[in-house]
Structure 1
């Protein structure tokens, strides 16, 4: 009879440990996925910003020396990520390919201008910065016009702000849910040992002495759950990089390492804090309240 009861207790204990590890694993895995989404959403937003081109048109009086001098200026400019020179002949050919008709032959002259397509760095693709860049470039008397999609710049920045705000709200909500889930699993685990806790307290054991083995056990379970979550997250990253190499999800290894370190740290921290307060609750209960 005693043997059967011991086996039952052992199975219940293992089941309790398993539920804690599973809860920690699932919650931290979701938090890790959210963390990767946040860092990559910024990268995707920056990539989209840097696809917006600013086209600088030169007057017909601008010779090769002036155009080459402008290229040298762009090479040292902090705002320019990349730039491409488009001659009036290249522009005419591109237009001919698009409309399917040689308009130069029809007009008898090429009305287009030599130009540079400049892709700005993401940090400069905002309303104020791009206006300052435009004003700076217009000081060159050989520049005829500067064209870029102002509405698109404003729309991109406004939408990124909205998306960032919602990501922050969702992140906070999921973190709160994560703490509640792990805390509930640990409290259920400790609840089954409430009589042992009270018995130890009645025979004179200090609170810290009683609390220590429960805290250490929970931290170990948290480390196991966090370790499993990290392995799963690395597997997801490798899968995405293998099947979608264009995303470049593994490029920023430092941020990836920080997210994985955060996952491990959160696993240890939440289990430690939850176990501390759960044991404290049962230590402060009266014997009658245990039932």
Structure 2
């Protein structure tokens, strides 16, 4: 009979430990994902901005030397991320591939123009900045027109501001939920030992002495949950880096290390505080209140 009861108690204890580790792991993993997203959100936004192209068309009078000289100027321009020269012949071929027939056969000549596709640096993909770049380029008498999607530029910048605001709100909300979940799991774990706590107190043990083993156990469980969360986060980082190498998500190793250390520190801190206050609550209760 005693053996069966001991086994039951042991299974309940293991189940309690497992639930604490699982809740810590899940919460810290989600917070870690959010932290990694926040530090890479600007990089993602910049990457999207730099995919917006500004196309500069040249007059037919512009010869090869003029086109080449303009390309050299773009390479050293502070606003230029990358440039691609598209000759009128290459543009005609692209149009032919798109419409499925050679329009030159019935036009008799190529009406398209030589052009440069300019991908601006993210800082210049703003309404005012991109307008200044356009104004500067139009001073070149050989340029016939400059085309880019103004509405897309405005929409991207507006949406980035909105997303940034919501990220801050969601971060605060998830952090609050994380504290509540971990605190609830640990309080349930301490609650099952409330009679042991009160018995130790009745035989003369100090509050610090009673709290210490519970706090140490919870901190160890918190460290285990945090370690599992860190391993899962490293797995996610490796997957994203392999699937989307252009993002360069592993380039900023310092900030990634800060997020991972913050996950570990948060796991230790919240388990320590939750256990401290949970044990303190039962230590301050009267014996009759334990029931």
TM range (shorter): 0.7 to 0.9
Aligned length: 290
Q: CA deviation at 1:41?
A: 5.1
Query: 143-152 or 231-240: which moved more?
Result: 231-240
Match of 1:164 in 2: 164
RMSD over aligned CA atoms reads 2.9
Q: Judge which range, 93-102 or 17-26, deviates more.
A: 93-102
User: Structure 2 unaligned runs (5+)?
Assistant: none
Shift of 1:191: 1.6
- The secondary structure found in structure 1 opposite 2:116 is strand
Whether contact under 8 Å (1:58, 1:144) holds in the other structure is: yes
**Which segments of 5 or more consecutive residues in structure 1 lack a partner in the other structure?**
none
Specify the alignment match of 1:195 in structure 2: 195
1:280 alignment partner in structure 2:
280
> What residue number does 2:135 align with?
135
After TM superposition, the structure 1 = structure 2 runs for residues 230-249 of structure 1, keeping only pairs within 5 Å, are 230-239=230-239, 244-245=243-244
2:219 is aligned with 1:214: no
* Cα-to-partner distance string for 1:197-249 (whole Å, 9 max, x where unaligned): 3344445544333323222211110011111222233334445555x356757
TM-score, length of structure 2 as denominator length: 0.84
Tell me if the contact between 2:134 and 2:146 (Cα under 8 Å) persists in the aligned partners: yes
Change (3 A) 1:113 1:289: same
| Alpha-carbon distance in 2 for matches of 1:77, 1:211 | 65
CA contact (8 A) 1:240 1:249 kept: no
SS of alignment partner, residue 51 of structure 1: coil
Tell me what 1:289 maps to: 289
CA shift at 1:190, angstroms?
Answer: 1.3
Question: What displacement does 1:74 show?
Answer: 1.7
Partner of 1:224: 224
Alignment correspondent of 2:174: 174
Residue 125 of structure 2 aligns with which residue? 125
Distance across 2 between alignment mates of 1:247 and 1:90: 26
1:264 aligns with 2:264: yes
Shift of 1:53: 0.6
| Counterpart for residue 155 of structure 1 | 155
Report deviation, 1:39.
4.8
